[in-house]
Amino acid sequence: MHSYKLQPATVIRMILIGVVFLSIAVGTAFDVMAESKGFVSSNPADLPPDLNRKVTPSVVDPDRPPAYGPEDAKVLVIIFADYKCPACRRASQATHQLAAEFPGEVRMEFWNHPLASHRNADLAAAAGIAAQQQGKFWEMHDILFENPKHDMPTLEQHAQDLGLNLEQFRSDMNDPAVQERIRKEGELTEALGASNTPSYLINGKVYMGWGSWRSLKGKVERELKAIDALEEQGMEDPLAIRAQREIDNFEDSQMYDLYRVAVIEPNLADNNK
């Protein structure tokens, strides 16, 4: 009979594999619990201490990403999300509160990144934009995350419940411009290397995945401290300061150029209206 002795390196690899599977299991458990509880996450780390559901959205062009917070905010936070993603569902309960936590200093924008592997994720994204055309994006946003069923009859029922013009809602959902917008928003995510959902850009710096409300808030606070340092050096214009931080946060000039064309220039145009 032969006895085998595991090498230390093999033992370490087995332990690491076990840790990975354990983390996946824990994350899956939270997702299942979140699904079973509906829109309210069962993970306390997902929520800020005082969830403010009455934050006033910014009034923006309906063809631009919906947002909370002023155009000239010191920090621009973009979330790329998929309505079929359980982690996005958990994150959605807190991310739209950033503008309330940092009034006048933070702007939060929602961009679509429906994954091809998620059935009807593209339909849900189109429903959100169609509702935005009638001034009801955030109401539809919450309904889509609360109710994971996203077939067309269900989406039309949501539109009726929100008092939307159903004929216009259908037309907007099928509008090639809406489909093109969804495609471009998703392509930008991939081009910037933020392929997971949810992903965040904080003044251009990419963060992937959802950790916790405290983690997200901490990242924003660190960015604000960096901006405070620039102000202490004599910079005064909030948009110029933000532009400098966006340049600093991109190590790749080609990625920065993509971001500048897709994000910075349209926001400047909005701010100058």
Q: Residue range 212-230: average pLDDT?
A: 94
CATH number, domain 60-271 = 3.40.30.10
Q: What is the pTM of this model?
A: 0.82
Q: Residue range 62-75: average pLDDT?
A: 92
Q: Which residues contact 123 (CB under 8 A, 6 or more apart)?
A: 150, 151, 152, 155, 173
Query: Angle at CA 128, nearest 5°, toward 40 and 141?
Result: 15
Is the Cα torsion angle 17, 213, 232, 244 positive or negative in sign?
positive
End-to-end Cα, the chain, rounded Å: 83
pLDDT tens per residue, range 50-60: 666 566 788 77
pLDDT for 157:
97
Ranking 6-10, 151-155, 160-164, 236-240 by mean pLDDT, the lowest is 6-10
Compute the mean pLDDT over every residue in the chain, rounded to the nearest whole number.
Answer: 84
Ranking 2-16, 62-76, 85-99, 112-126 by mean pLDDT, the lowest is 2-16
Q: Render the burial of 255-271: b for 16+ CB within 10 Å, e for the rest.
A: bbeebbebbbeebeeee
Q: Residue range 184-207: average pLDDT?
A: 92
Q: Of the candidates 74, 60, 78, 69, which has an alpha carbon nearest to the alpha carbon of residue 192? A: 78
Q: Residue range 258-265: average pLDDT?
A: 91
pLDDT for 7:
59
pLDDT for 23:
42
